[in-house]
Amino acid sequence: MPVEETEVVVVGAGQAGVAMSEHLGTHGIPHIVLERDRIAERWRSARWDSLVANGPAWHDRFPGLEFEDVAPDAFAPKDKVADYFVAYAEKIAAPIRCGVEVTSVRRHSDRPGFRVETSAGVIDARQVVAATGPFQRPVIPPVVPDDAAPVQIHSNAYHNPGQLPEGAVLVVGAGSSGVQIADELRRSGRQVFLSVGPHDRPPREYRGRDFCWWLGVLGLWDAETPPQGAEHVTIAVSGARGGHTVDFRALAADGIELLGMTASYDSGVLRFAPDLAENIAAGDAKYLELLGAADAYVARNALDLPEEPEAHVLGPEPECVVNPRLELDLAEAGVTSIVWATGYATDYSWLDADAFDDRGRPRHRRGVSTEPGVYFLGLPWQSRRGSSFIWGVWHDARYVADHIAIQHGYLAHDPGSRPDTASPTQQS
Ligand SMILES: Cc1cc2nc3c(=O)[nH]c(=O)nc-3n(C[C@H](O)[C@H](O)[C@H](O)COP(=O)(O)OP(=O)(O)OC[C@H]3O[C@@H](n4cnc5c(N)ncnc54)[C@H](O)[C@@H]3O)c2cc1C
């Protein structure tokens, strides 16, 4: 049977795959996007029911299309985000094949390009873009054994409070997922414990502008390397209930007991690091730093934005921060479930290429791999802080597509078409 051929295979049709298709299409480069589920599947099934986008609709979108039925300053519900990418794919007539899993990609040994094996047959491609996203494999740190009493799930499997058994819940991780899930569980009447690690918690809004705007004008989305060498800065933000600043003091006032980093487990008892006050203080310091930078920007540009002195007042630390609990007997506290909002890892087990370092991380520059013909997209900090977010991946996709187009030009070059200077016609 003849093998199908194309110039570029893009693996994954989340926002990264859709953006990639747009830019490849602009360059007129033949390509196929393969998606094992549906377009933007993660937004449909690997997020909790009440999730809305963390950024307002004017910001968390691609340049070429606005959300149809979400006001610019509102936060799109997760299914509308998925619908948006389906609409976008239709608008650009992206050649996406859904329900096709890529099982292996291997370089040809006897000619250029790659053999792409899929659940629906084989494709030969000159280039491959891994657009499978930054969040492929949920990570649960090996702290509590599987056979311990509480039900344990990762945040990607959390949908709503009703899915958890009656009783108190421990949420581990205080990035956007952890704080939003803890807040939802508390509001549903549960007793909630929240284990808080290092985080960034920008103000939702300051002086009338959303933090997405502030990060933009202050150039912080464009930061090229994570601060202090941290690979992934957890940003604790929320668009829930119309959007609000994540404030650990308010969460504690609502009855959530804050704990330090979850450290170890023994015979039904969890232990926590004595770092809660430090983590809260570091988050506060970054929050105040952003307010300071925003104020300086307003002054420098003589902007007429309303002052907001009350935003600088943080209030006293809650009792659970001043005297943190360092141990929790899960049965005694009635904890029947643990939600691990502890992030994700990548999974490139299908990609057989010399494109990874000794820790399995992609070796690349702005998505252009060290292995010629292999590209990555959607990686955290791929080119800047915004890379793994909706607006950022679109710009990274353009860079990767430009690189592919340049290579395409070289490969298409035919030296035989050079005018023959030695021909008699030209000599006369
Ligand atoms: C809870 C949560 C909330 C977020 N909220 C926001 C937000 O509000 N704003 C924002 O800008 N960002 C947000 N993000 C970050 C980011 O925008 C999303 O994670 C987004 O889904 C990443 O898109 P992606 O296309 O890079 O990856 P994904 O959406 O994960 O898409 C990758 C696709 O690849 C497919 N795939 C994987 N392996 C294969 C294979 N072998 N063969 C075929 N297909 C494959 C998967 O099925 C998947 O559909 C959020 C992330 C999380 C976890």
pLDDT for res 233: 58
Q: For residue 390, which atom of ligand 1 is closest to its CA?
A: 11
How many beta carbons lie within 10 A of that of residue 163, not counting itself?
13
Residues of the chain with CATH 3.50.50.60: 4-136+346-414, 139-340
- Reported as a single tens digit per residue, the pLDDT across 231-278 is 555 889 999 999 999 999 999 999 999 999 999 999 999 999 999 999
Mean pLDDT of 193-215: 97
Mean pLDDT of 61-89: 97
Mean pLDDT of 211-228: 89
pLDDT for res 428: 34
- Reported as a single tens digit per residue, the pLDDT across 29-56 is 999 999 999 999 999 999 999 999 999 9
- Reported as a single tens digit per residue, the pLDDT across 383-413 is 999 999 999 999 999 999 999 999 999 988 8
Angstrom distances, CA of residue 160 to CA of 46, 89, 180, 182, 270: 12, 29, 11, 11, 24
Residue nearest atom 18 of ligand 1, based on CA coordinates: 389
What is the distance in A from the centroid of ligand 1 to the CA of 134? Answer: 7
What are 52's strand-pairing partners?
77
Q: For residue 134, which atom of ligand 1 is closest to its CA?
A: 26
What does the DSSP assignment read for 10-67? EE--SHHHHHHHHHHHHTT--EEEEESSSTTHHHHHSS-TT-B-SS-TTTSS-TT---
Read off the pTM.
Answer: 0.94
Mean pLDDT of 141-156: 96
Q: For residue 43, which atom of ligand 1 is closest to its CA?
A: 21
- pLDDT bracket for residue 2 (50, 70, 90): confident
Rounded Cα distance, 226 and 233, in Å? 7
Q: Which residue has the higher pLDDT, 292 or 230?
A: 292
3.50.50.60, 3.40.50.2000, 3.40.50.720, 3.40.50.150: CATH of 139-340: 3.50.50.60
Lowest-confidence region among 155-159, 242-246, 419-423 = 419-423
Mean pLDDT of 166-175: 97
- pLDDT above 70 as % of the chain: 95
What is the distance in A from the centroid of ligand 1 to the CA of 391? Answer: 13
- pLDDT bracket for residue 133 (50, 70, 90): confident
Class of domain 4-136+346-414: alpha beta
DSSP label at residue 124 = E
**Within 6 Å (CB) of ligand 1, which residues are found?**
11-17, 34-37, 41-43, 47, 53-55, 60, 101-102, 131-135, 177, 350, 378, 388-390, 393
pLDDT for res 413: 86
Residue nearest atom 12 of ligand 1, based on CA coordinates: 389
pLDDT for res 198: 92
pLDDT for res 425: 46
Residues in the chain: 428
What is the distance in A from the centroid of ligand 1 to the CA of 12? Answer: 9
- Reported as a single tens digit per residue, the pLDDT across 323-362 is 999 999 999 999 999 999 999 998 999 999 999 999 999 9
Rounded Cα distance, 148 and 354, in Å? 40
Mean pLDDT of 204-224: 96
Rounded Cα distance, 402 and 393, in Å? 14
Q: For residue 54, which atom of ligand 1 is closest to its CA?
A: 8
What is the distance in A from the centroid of ligand 1 to the CA of 164? Answer: 25
